[in-house]
Amino acid sequence: MATADSGPEPVLPRQPPGLTGGGRQPAHLGFEEYNVARQISCSHHYWITGGQVETFSVPFRYVWPSELDLMARLAGMTLRERWSDWQHAPFTGDSRSHISVWQKAPQRRAPGRGGGPDDCHPGPR
């Protein structure tokens, strides 16, 4: 079984290309850059500590739930449940995050590939 917690999805539908969003606190400034075509965002952070400016930037590649479903299917798993949060709120087109649970599909044995002596003699003996 696998679980994914995507965290907040990027606010792409509401932002035109090139627009960034972010937050600000007295000693911290953070903002995101989005490349919609490449599905990449870059998170930039600046802190003022002891009169010095510290910076940190990190790239992220985001995926949509449908992409995760495809990757799970290719790995032999099926979607069991999906919610928009840990309180099990329904996942809808307006959800900004998701919790998804996939499970490994039961393996089927190919005919003639038995695992023991009983496989050689089907039925009661």
Q: Where are the alpha helices (DSSP H) in 7-94?
A: 65-74
SS3 69: helix
Mean pLDDT, to the nearest integer, of 109-121?
A: 57
Structural element, H or E, at residue 60? strand 52-61
Band the pLDDT of 37: cuts 50, 70, 90: confident
- Considering the entire predicted model, what is its pTM? 0.52
**DSSP 3-state of 13:** coil
The answer to whether residue 34 scores a pLDDT higher than 80 is yes
The pLDDT value recorded for residue 19 is: 45
Give the pLDDT mean for 59-88: 93
Q: Is the pLDDT of residue 69 over 80?
A: yes
Determine the pLDDT at residue 49.
Answer: 84
Mean pLDDT (the chain, rounded): 78
State the Cα–Cα distance between residues 87 and 93, nearest whole angstrom: 17
